[in-house]
Amino acid sequence: MRFPFLLAIVGLLTVCASAQREGSISGTVYDNEGIPVADAHVSAELMQGGEKILTVLTTNTNELGGFLFSHLNLGEYRVAAEKQEAGYLSTAPDILTCKPPLTIVLSEQSPIADTSVRFMPKGATITGWVKNSNTGKTIPAHLSLSSITECGWSTTGTSGQFKFRLLVPANTPIKFGACAEGYKSWFHADSSNPSQPLALELRPGALFEIEIRLEHSLEQGEPICSAGRY
């Protein structure tokens, strides 16, 4: 007569064990030639509904390029790696390469996943100053980067006190511009045709130095300088 009670307990324990089941994600980070990268920075984002980030976990690869995230809740994760100090940009989706995220789903049926992350070739660097074209003094400005494929854009600011330095994808055509309040917007162009934007496409590890000189704007209709494409 006690069997139904015992079966209920066993069933409850089974449900609890299932609810508490954990997963793991392991893998290796490689460079573009397939060589493992030590001390790369790896992140795993637990997603909700494909868009909202619930949790961000981080770790570094070992000397063999390996990484492990353990004791994970089941669910959808986006995994990415970067090592900017060595020239490797993040593998996460960005506006210049338009690539999809590396997505891993841990489920009751598949709680353990093994993957690999591969860097693109080392990035290139754009560096320089933004100055007043009349005085030669440095000025605060916004810098704009966008893809030729028009999948997006990003901006970053300069304080006007320090030389800017941007790490960008190599072998990728990029539109590059700048603006500052009270000045005419500027974009990288062919010297023989200044009104025509000219894309930058730099080799891996290349250093492109530039001094951007902005002219004062006397026009009332000049757009307000803010985040966007210039």
CATH number at residue 82: 2.60.40.10
pLDDT of 220 over the 70 cut: no
Distance CA(22)–CA(166), nearest Å, equals 40
Tell me what pLDDT residue 21 has.
80
Tell me what pLDDT residue 86 has.
96
What domain range is 177 assigned to?
124-214
* Residues 107-131, mean pLDDT to the nearest whole number: 96
Tell me what pLDDT residue 230 has.
54
What is this structure's pTM? 0.79
Cβ–Cβ < 8 Å for 200, 173 = yes
pLDDT of 145 over the 80 cut: yes
pLDDT of 8 over the 60 cut: no
Question: What percent of the chain lies above the pLDDT cut of 90?
Answer: 64
Cβ–Cβ < 8 Å for 47, 54 = yes
As a whole number, the mean pLDDT across the chain is 86
**pLDDT bracket for residue 16 (50, 70, 90):** very low
* Residues 180-189, mean pLDDT to the nearest whole number: 90
* Residues 186-197, mean pLDDT to the nearest whole number: 88
Residues 151 and 175 in one domain: yes
Question: Given CA atoms 216, 219, 224, 226 in this order, what sign does their dihedral have?
Answer: negative
Distance from the Cα of residue 38 to its chain's centroid: 19
Tell me what pLDDT residue 146 has.
87
Q: Is 226 domain-assigned?
A: no
Residues 161 and 183 in one domain: yes
Give phi and psi for 77, each to the nearest 5: -125, 145
pLDDT of 11 over the 80 cut: no
Total count of domains within the chain = 2
* Residues 184-192, mean pLDDT to the nearest whole number: 89
Tell me what pLDDT residue 91 has.
95
* Residues 160-185, mean pLDDT to the nearest whole number: 91
Cβ–Cβ < 8 Å for 116, 28 = yes
pLDDT in tens, 73-95: 999 999 999 999 999 999 998 77
**Quick one: which of 12, 52, 107 has its CA closest to 4?**
12
Cβ–Cβ < 8 Å for 105, 71 = no
Q: Is 39 domain-assigned?
A: yes
Q: Is 66 domain-assigned?
A: yes
Residues 150 and 99 in one domain: no
Residues 45 and 88 in one domain: yes
**pLDDT bracket for residue 215 (50, 70, 90):** very high
Residue of 3 and 162 predicted with greater confidence? 162
